[in-house]
Chain A
Amino acid sequence: MKRIPFIFTLALFLFGSELFLTHQASAQFTTVGKSKEAIDYTDFKIQPIPAARIFIETLKKDLTTSGHFTEALRGRGDYKIVGEAAMDGPRLNVKLQVVVSAGGSVRYGHMYNSTPQAVRSLAHRYADEILLAIKKKTGIANTSIAYLGEVNGKKEVFLCDYDGGNPRQYTNDRSISMSPTWDPSGQKLLYTSFRKGFPDVYEISVANGQRNRLANFPGLNTGAVFAPNGRDVALVLSKDGNPEIYIMNRQTLKPRRITKTKASAKSTPTWSPDGKQIAFVSDHGGKPNIYIVTPANGRLKQITFEGRENVQPNWSNNNLIAYSSKQGSSYEIRVYNANSGKSQSVLSDGRTDFGHPSWSPNGRHLVTVGELNYVSSLYILDTKEGKVIPIVKGRGSWSAPSWSPHQR
């Protein structure tokens, strides 16, 4: 139990200069009933080269960030990781086993190799496999984040690993890009681009950059997001005289309107995990709040009532809706439990504006924007423990993150 507050304090200390976390009542963070299991990495041999060092550091960080393990002192772990990472010709070869300390039984063992440049991905792969083998849980180490960055006064789409590693610019439209989102297979992105002078929705293949324009109706075309079935797309169109939520089949590209309110602003549709409902923002009630619509019958249900603005909902695989809420002078991240109807704050510090939360596929972590003094950075939050880690920071403003599904 002692390790949890230590790591929390350490994270605060290291990253806290710009992030003063004043969490509310500790009751919201359900600490695990028993202490986390500890892994002893000290018997893993690494050749003294950067690639091998990066491998083991990335592996440690992945397993710790998952929230299921801590790093043990020599001889004190529940598990030991043994093996070695060394160059074999041009490739880094890794032999790795996870052994139960008491008794020595082998719970996992694999040998993989990769180029030195891809060593982070190699570590991510090991981390998720180890988590699955030991805890039977699906991890997030093998996921990516799509986001926006400013380049020469324009906004382009970027991709990075879930921990901020390997960041790369993905579009070069030299225009304004907005709200990238992933399809359920993790192979395509939808985003809004002004490259033709108007906000249109594009689909872009992650593997080869092939692009299709899906929506260019008069007025707004934005907020496009794939349904869990991978066939339908929800988006915001204003082509009938008012911004409304529409559903469009990916093949026919014919939109069907599913909301109809008096003149009002609407944004960010997000699908429920069963694909039967969509949460979105509308201000037809006077100020921006989050509503759920059931496309089958058009019924609307308001789910946020307090604060001055409630925006940017994102619906997790385990039926939680994260959103950004302006309660006082700053925005905080809140989570609405669609099963219980209850809402609670998960991230606020009274100064930073937190917004645009996006859930990881495991419904435990989320990525969010934190903006302070008009500079925005990306952070990941473990909602179970309240741990916050910056992942994309510095050299400009970064925004609109979207967490990919599991890949590979």
Chain B
Amino acid sequence: MTVFRFSLISLVLFSLVFSGCRTKRSSSFVKGDARFDPLAAGDFVQLDETLLKDSDFVWAGGYDAQGNYIGEGGEFDIDGNWVGAGGYDENGVWTGKGLFDSTGKYIGPGGGYDEYGNFVGPTGPYDKSGTYAGWSAGDYDFGAPGDRLAGSLQDVQGDYQVIQFNYDRAEVPQAEMGKVTGMAEYLTNNPQLNLVVEGHCDERGSEAYNMALGEQRALAVRAALVMRGVEPSRVTTLSFGEEAPVNPAHNDNAWRENRRAEMKLLQ
């Protein structure tokens, strides 16, 4: 079996090389092709298209929809996403075993991504609206955004304070999540402190809508903190909409600076 497998793999490699790496087709190996040094005529019979189909490659591993070899075992779903004993998440990173949800998002080996794109753990389904339903099925709800916590506000040291958001979006961008993680650790180590998360928008759009969008940004940061172990009651939200910009100019640069959440400690 080993020998056979070795030959087959070599032939697979041949087919990759000589068919422009499109493994779904093996048309280069037409019988009698002059490019090949004829070994025993019988050796090439097995390379006939009728013998090697796409599915033949599956047992030795799998290929994703782009033709990249992605390891052993597995199947493709009807959309062509690899869903077997292994998978690629939406960033193209090999994530091992698991399933894809109906939107094509990798939902882990039985785990899932929340609507902010954060991996939220090994268990939990998506509800009908596509929202990750959390550690236990149910509403995505971390409860009230904290009472009006008393205390005086302190700016956070270093560059943890400000989290930038993309235009018209309320998810914490992946690149900014390190600040949230850092703040969660800090709060865990300093239980006497609480936190206010301010939400802000750039000036485009209606002021009333931006009040709610700013609140959503603050709520997103709060949710991310809670998922990193901070008690929900320690974090409150405060939206200023577009009313408190840091940069009063009317250009992309200013708008980018103004689309932010600011974390402020309460002591």
What residues of A have a CB within 8 angstroms of the CB of B143 in the complex?
Answer: 240-241
Residue A220 lies at the interface, judged by CB distance under 8 Å to chain B: yes
Q: Pick the residue among B208, B236, B250 that contacts A218 (CB under 8 A).
A: B236
Report B104-132 CB contacts with A as 1/0, cut-off 8 Å. Answer: 00000000000100000000000001010
Q: Pick the residue among A192, A219, A242, A311 that contacts B209 (CB under 8 A).
A: A311
Residue B237 lies at the interface, judged by CB distance under 8 Å to chain A: yes
A373 to chain B, nearest CB (A): 8
Please state if A263 and B212 are interface contacts (CB–CB under 8 Å): no
Residue A267 lies at the interface, judged by CB distance under 8 Å to chain B: yes
Residue A80 lies at the interface, judged by CB distance under 8 Å to chain B: no
**Interface size bucket, A side?**
35 or more
Please state if A239 and B213 are interface contacts (CB–CB under 8 Å): no
Residue A29 lies at the interface, judged by CB distance under 8 Å to chain B: no
Please, how many residues of chain B have a CB less than 8 angstroms from a CB on the other chain? Answer: 35
What residues of A have a CB within 8 angstroms of the CB of B208 in the complex?
Answer: 178-179, 222-223, 267-268, 281, 311-312
Residue A374 lies at the interface, judged by CB distance under 8 Å to chain B: yes
What residues of A have a CB within 8 angstroms of the CB of B140 in the complex?
Answer: 262-263
With contacts A176-B240, A176-B243 known, is A220 near B211, CB below 8 A? yes
Please state if B243 and A178 are interface contacts (CB–CB under 8 Å): yes
User: Which residue of B has the minimal Cβ distance to A241?
Assistant: B141
Q: Pick the residue among B142, B144, B241 that contacts A219 (CB under 8 A).
A: B144
Q: Pick the residue among A176, A197, A267 that contacts B206 (CB under 8 A).
A: A267
Residue B263 lies at the interface, judged by CB distance under 8 Å to chain A: no
A376 to chain B, nearest CB (A): 10
Residue B64 lies at the interface, judged by CB distance under 8 Å to chain A: no
CA of A219 to CA of B145, assembled, Å:
6
CA of A163 to CA of B71, assembled, Å:
74
User: Which residue of A has the minimal Cβ distance to B244?
Assistant: A176
B81 to chain A, nearest CB (A): 23
Please state if A220 and B212 are interface contacts (CB–CB under 8 Å): yes
Residue A124 lies at the interface, judged by CB distance under 8 Å to chain B: no
User: Which residue of A has the minimal Cβ distance to B205?
Assistant: A309
Residue A400 lies at the interface, judged by CB distance under 8 Å to chain B: yes
Please state if B144 and A239 are interface contacts (CB–CB under 8 Å): yes
Please state if A239 and B215 are interface contacts (CB–CB under 8 Å): no
Report B143-171 CB contacts with A as 1/0, cut-off 8 Å. Answer: 11111100000000000000000000010
Residue A294 lies at the interface, judged by CB distance under 8 Å to chain B: no
Report A252-283 CB contacts with B as 1/0, cut-off 8 Å. Answer: 00000000001111111000000000000101
Residue A334 lies at the interface, judged by CB distance under 8 Å to chain B: no
Residue A355 lies at the interface, judged by CB distance under 8 Å to chain B: yes
Please state if B142 and A222 are interface contacts (CB–CB under 8 Å): no
Please state if A265 and B219 are interface contacts (CB–CB under 8 Å): no
B211 to chain A, nearest CB (A): 5
What residues of A have a CB within 8 angstroms of the CB of B213 in the complex?
Answer: 265
Please state if A216 and B216 are interface contacts (CB–CB under 8 Å): no
What residues of B have a CB within 8 angstroms of the CB of A198 in the complex?
Answer: 148, 238
Q: Which of A198, A241, A288, A399 has the most CB of B within 10 A?
A: A241
User: Which residue of B has the minimal Cβ distance to A200?
Assistant: B148
Please state if B212 and A178 are interface contacts (CB–CB under 8 Å): no
What residues of A have a CB within 8 angstroms of the CB of B144 in the complex?
Answer: 218-219, 239-241
B181 to chain A, nearest CB (A): 21
Q: Pick the residue among A197, A241, A267, A356 that contacts B145 (CB under 8 A).
A: A241
Residue B194 lies at the interface, judged by CB distance under 8 Å to chain A: no
CA of A218 to CA of B170, assembled, Å:
19
User: Which residue of B has the minimal Cβ distance to A177?
Assistant: B243
What residues of B have a CB within 8 angstroms of the CB of A288 in the complex?
Answer: 205, 209
Residue A324 lies at the interface, judged by CB distance under 8 Å to chain B: yes
Residue B239 lies at the interface, judged by CB distance under 8 Å to chain A: yes
Report A336-365 CB contacts with B as 1/0, cut-off 8 Å. Answer: 000000000000000000011000000000
Please state if B243 and A243 are interface contacts (CB–CB under 8 Å): no
Please state if A216 and B148 are interface contacts (CB–CB under 8 Å): yes
Residue A149 lies at the interface, judged by CB distance under 8 Å to chain B: no
Residue B207 lies at the interface, judged by CB distance under 8 Å to chain A: yes
- Tell me which residues from 373 to 408 in chain A have a Cβ below 8 Å from any Cβ of chain B: 374, 399-400
What residues of A have a CB within 8 angstroms of the CB of B212 in the complex?
Answer: 220, 222, 236, 238, 243, 265-267
What residues of B have a CB within 8 angstroms of the CB of A223 in the complex?
Answer: 208, 211
B127 to chain A, nearest CB (A): 9
What residues of B have a CB within 8 angstroms of the CB of A176 in the complex?
Answer: 240, 243-244
Residue A199 lies at the interface, judged by CB distance under 8 Å to chain B: yes
Report B8-46 CB contacts with A as 1/0, cut-off 8 Å. Answer: 000000000000000000000000000000000000000
Additional 19 contacts, C-beta under 8 A, given A262-B115, A265-B213, A281-B208: A176-B243, A197-B238, A199-B238, A218-B147, A219-B237, A236-B211, A238-B145, A240-B141, A240-B143, A242-B141, A265-B170, A265-B212, A265-B215, A266-B212, A267-B209, A267-B212, A309-B205, A355-B206, A374-B203
User: Can you sample 17 A-B contacts with CB below 8 Å?
Assistant: A178-B207, A178-B243, A218-B144, A218-B145, A219-B144, A219-B219, A223-B208, A223-B211, A239-B144, A241-B144, A243-B212, A243-B216, A264-B216, A265-B212, A265-B213, A267-B206, A288-B205
- 9 closest A-B pairs (Cβ-Cβ)? A265-B212, A267-B208, A219-B145, A243-B212, A311-B206, A265-B213, A267-B209, A268-B208, A176-B243
